[in-house]
Amino acid sequence: MRKPIIAGNWKMNMTPTEARKLVDALAPLVADAACEVVICPPYVDLAFVADLLPGTNIALGAQNVHWAEKGAFTGEISAPMLKELGVKYVIVGHSERRQYFGETDETVNLRTKAAINAGITPIICVGESLEQRENGVTDAVVTVQTVAALKDMPEAAVKGLVIAYEPIWAIGTGKTATKEEANETIKVIRDAIRGVFGEAVAAEVRIQYGGSMNPKNASELMAMPEIDGGLIGGASLKPEDFARVVKY
């Protein structure tokens, strides 16, 4: 049985003061959640938010990580730095990073390995553009992205990580993939993992859906057999909405 995991991706939102308000409001609302609950604030909020989380059932995640342990990479943050703050999860390869910041399948693979080496669980994002979906290449795109992200990784590491299927056309647009579309593409991703790492790994990897997931559509998406959670952007910025998604 895969334990569902709902993660909030705050993106570039929330000053430390705003972050405190959000966490203070959210913690009691999700205290009895049946799933794993994660929030991914911006880097500058992490240390601050980390201090607010003991005694709650909310785990801390970051939104990116560099692949080197340290060095001359101005503006970057390494996995050991995140680890020391108590970060448990890190989003890797979000489509906004791929689109605006030159993220490639190769760097996604490097970041994934760096996170694993530091004992942080990556949440690896894959997903097709609208054009790719209309051209019928969705399955090929997510398969290539998934296999490339996991290149040269040991089975034991792959088992424990999280993948987020996020169709780019559904992110922040209010357009959600239908539950059938999401379920089918997640099955394709699981099949790709099965092809490389075998059945036991494929059966254990948790795969989230992300893209305009909200309190209204969370329960029908979460009822699908392949969908193990959600990566939530916009709806994670409002404590009541995020709590309703968490309690789908």
Smallest distance from the beta carbon of 233 to ligand PGA, in angstroms? Answer: 2
Residue 43, Cβ density class (10 Å: 0-12 exposed, 13-18 middle, ≥19 buried): middle
Confirm if 165 and 142 have CB atoms less than 8 A apart.
yes
Please select the residue that binds ligand PGA; options are 59, 150, 213, 221, rule is CB under 6 A: 213
**Does residue 218 interact with ligand PGA by CB under 6 A?**
no
Joined together, the tokens standing for residue 1 give 């049985």
- Does residue 233 belong to the site contacting ligand PGA (CB under 6 A)? yes
Assess 9 for contact with ligand PGA (CB under 6 A). yes
Of the residues 4, 210, 215, 229, which one makes contact with ligand PGA according to CB under 6 A: 210
Regarding 166 and contact with ligand PGA (CB under 6 A), the answer is: yes
Choose the binding region for ligand PGA from 59-67, 110-118, 130-138, 211-219 (rule: CB under 6 A): 211-219
d(CA 165, CA 183): 10
Q: Of how many residues is the chain composed?
A: 248
Q: Is 62 exposed, middle or buried (0-12, 13-18, 19+ CB in 10 A)?
A: buried
Q: Are the C-beta atoms of 200 and 165 separated by less than 8 Å?
A: no
User: Residue 209: which of 232, 190, 240 has the closest Cα?
Assistant: 232
Backbone torsions φ then ψ of 60, nearest 5 degrees: -95, 135
What is the size of the binding site for ligand PGA (CB under 6 A)?
13
Cβ proximity to ligand PGA: between 30 and 125 the closer is 125
Q: Which of 145, 242, 130, 227 is nearest to 192 (CA)?
A: 145
Residue 79 binds ligand PGA (CB under 6 A): no
Nearer to ligand PGA, 118 or 213 (CB): 213
Closest approach, Cβ 123 to ligand PGA, in A, equals: 9
Q: Name the residue nearer to ligand PGA (CB basis): 202 or 239.
A: 239
Q: Which is nearer to ligand PGA, 70 or 175 (CB)?
A: 175
Cβ 161 to ligand PGA, closest distance in Å? 16
| Residue 172 sits in the site that holds ligand PGA (CB under 6 A) | yes
Task: Answer yes or no: are the C-beta atoms of 27 and 56 closer than 8 Å.
Answer: yes
User: Is there binding between residue 41 and ligand PGA (CB under 6 A)?
Assistant: no
Give residue number: closest CB to ligand PGA: 233
Catalytic residue numbers read 94, 166
Residues in CB range of 181: below 8 A, 6 or more apart = 167
**Where along the sequence are the contacts to ligand PGA (CB under 6 A)?**
9, 166, 171-172, 210-213, 231-235
